[in-house]
Structure 1
C-alpha cells in the first residue's frame, strides 16, 4: 500500500469524472449542513480580536502605572475622574486560507463512518468560513477563491468549488503571505517526508497552520478479517492479505505512530494538529480549530 490507512477502491477515468459531478451536486447540501454545525458552536465564537499594534480602535481601559503616557486618550479621560488608554486592535493575521483535500482517498466511507472523509472535510471548511465571516475575517481558498471579507464567504466558496475543484495534492501556496493562516483538512496519507517538507516550507514563509487530520473509523480500527484485497485509490496498487486479522496489531501500531509523529512535527513548528474520525460529531474538530485560531486551545478535543 502506498500509505498507511489508504484502503479504498481506485478511481480512474470516467468514474472520476462521474464522482466529480456528484461532489459538485452535493455542495449545496453540504453548505446547509455546515451552517447547522456552525450554528451549534456559534455561541462560543467570540472572534479573534485582541489588543495589539494595529490601526483600528478596539476599546478604552483605565490607565495603570508604568504604561505609556502617550497612549492616554485625554478627551475620554476628561469625561470623568479616571484616566483612560486607547487600545488598538491586533492585526497580525491578515487572511485565513481554508482547504479541503480533494484526493481520491477522501471519498472513502466504511459502514462505521457517518459520512465520507471528503464530505466531512468540506462541511468543516464551510462551517469555519461561516464563523470567520461573522468576525470580519478575510477568507480565501487556494487556487479557487481570492481572499474576501464578506458575510456570505461560505456560500461563495461552495459556489466556486462547484465549478473549480483542483485535483488532489497539496494546495498551491505562492499567494500565502507572512502572518496569514491556513487551515488544512484532509487525511494526510501521502508519504510522511513529503508532508513534513510541505508544511516546513509554509512555516518558513511565516504562515501559521492548523491541521485537521480526518480518518474513517475503519482506517483506525482495521476491522478486516479473512482474505481481503486492498487497493490504493491514488496508484491502483493492490495488496492481498490471506488473513487480514493477522495484520491488525501491526497496522494499528504503525497508524498510531505515524499520527503521533505528524502531530508532534506540527507542534514543533508552532502549528496545531487535530485528529478526527468520521464517526464523531463535526462540531468537535470545529470547536478545537476555533480555539487554536483564537489562540485559546479548547479543553474539548476531537478524537477518534
Structure 2
C-alpha cells in the first residue's frame, strides 16, 4: 500500500493545473448574450414572437398583444439538458511533442476537452467520457472526475473510441491524432449514427507531423517503442508521407460528413482558443 502512494500522487499531480488551465481558457471565451439558451420546452420566459397561422388561441399572450396591432405568442426557454460525451485519446502516440518542453498532443486534447466541458457545465449541460460506465452528469464534481480520468494515460500505441456506453441521442466529441487504424473510428461513428448521436471529430497534430522536417539518416520510432524504422534518406519519404497524411485527413472529413458529424484539424503549435470556439459552436450546430 505504501508503494502505491507515490504513484497515486504522481498521477494526481497534473489534475489541479489542468483544471485551472481549462477554467482559465474557458473564462476567456465570449459566447454571446445567451450562450446555449434557445427556445423550446421549459418554464422560463424566452421571448415574444408574432403569432403564426396554426398557433392555438390559448398560446396568444393577450396582455402583450393588447399593446400592438398584432398578436404575440410567448415562447419558453429550452431547458432539457443535453448530454455531451468525450473520447480523448490518451494512447502513446498522443504523448509526442516535437519541441523541447512543448505541449504534447494528449495535453492539448485534454485541455480543449476539459475547457469545453467547463463551458457546457456552465450552460447546464451534462458531460461524461465514453469509457465511463457512469452516465453523464452536471456540476463541479463531474468536472473533477473528468479531469482525473484524463490524467490517466493509456498503454497502447494508438487509441480507439469506446461506444459501449454511448447514450442515445446525445452529442459526442472524439479528440485524437487519428494516426492509427481508421476502422475502429469508422465503426464507432456507425454505432453513433445508429443511436442518433452526432458530434465532432477534432484531429490534434504536432506541427512536425504536418511539415515532416526530417532529412538524411533518421531513426523513426513510435512513442510506445513497439515500432521502429531507420532510413539514410528521410527526405525521400516526405512526399509520400504528406500524400498519405492528406488522404487520411480527407477520409476523416468524409466519414464525418457521411454520419452528420463535423471535422476540424488543430495543431499544438496554435493557440487552443480557436479550437475551443470551433468545438463549442459545432456542438451548438452553428457550423
TM-score w.r.t. the length of structure 2 is: 0.85
For 2:232 and 2:75, locate their aligned partners in 1 and report how far apart those are by CA, in whole Å.
Answer: 67
**Residue of 95, 98, 102 corresponding to 2:86:** 98
Q: 1:20 to 1:103 in 2, by over 3 A?
A: farther
Matches within 5 A, 1:188-267: 188-233=178-223, 236-267=226-257
Distance in 2 (CA, whole Å) between partners of 1:64 and 1:22 is 61
The answer to whether the 8 A contact 1:229-1:240 is kept is: yes
Residue pair 2:81, 2:124 contacting (<8 A) in 1 also: no
Q: Which residues of structure 1 form unaligned runs of 5+?
A: 1-17, 298-304
Distance between the aligned counterparts of 1:174 and 1:193, measured in 2? 16
Match of 1:128 in 2: 116
Q: TM-score, with normalisation over the residues of structure 1?
A: 0.80
Note if 1:40 corresponds to 2:28: yes
Residue pair 1:97, 1:181 contacting (<8 A) in 2 also = yes
Deviation for aligned residue 1:153: 4.0
Q: Report the counterpart of residue 59 of structure 1 in structure 2.
A: 46
Distance change (3 Å), C-alpha of 1:239 and 1:272 = same
Count of matched residue positions in the alignment of Structure 1 and Structure 2: 278
1:119 corresponds in structure 2 to 107
User: What displacement does 1:271 show?
Assistant: 0.2
The farther-off stretch of 81-90 and 92-101 is 81-90
Query: Using CA pairs below 8 Å that are at least 6 residues apart, which structure has the higher relative contact order?
Result: 1
Q: Structure 2: any 5+ residue segments left out of the alignment?
A: 1-5
What is aligned with 1:3?
Answer: none
Q: Is 222-231 or 60-69 further displaced after alignment?
A: 60-69
Q: Deviations over 1:214-254 (max 9, x none)?
A: 01111111111111111234571211111101111111111
Q: Give secondary structure in 1 for the equivalent of 2:136.
A: strand
The yes-or-no answer on 1:286 pairing with 2:273 is: no
The 3 A distance-change label for structure 1 pair 93 and 178 is farther
Tell me the equivalent position of 2:166: 176
**Matches of 1:45 and 1:33, distance apart in 2:** 24
Structure 2 counterpart SS, 1:148? coil
**Please, which of 49, 55, 76 is the counterpart of residue 37 of structure 2?**
49
- The equivalent position to 1:150 in structure 2, one of 102, 125, 139, is 139
RMSD: 2.8
**Could you say what secondary structure the match of 2:29 adopts?**
helix
Give the conservation status (yes or no) of the 8 Å contact 2:65–2:72: no
Q: Deviations over 1:92-132 (max 9, x none)?
A: 77301123111111100001884100110110111001111
Relative to structure 1, is the Cα distance of residues 99 and 20 closer, same or farther in structure 2, using a 3 angstrom cutoff?
farther
Evaluate the alpha carbon distance shift between residue 288 and residue 161 of structure 1 in structure 2; reply closer, same or farther with a 3 A threshold: closer
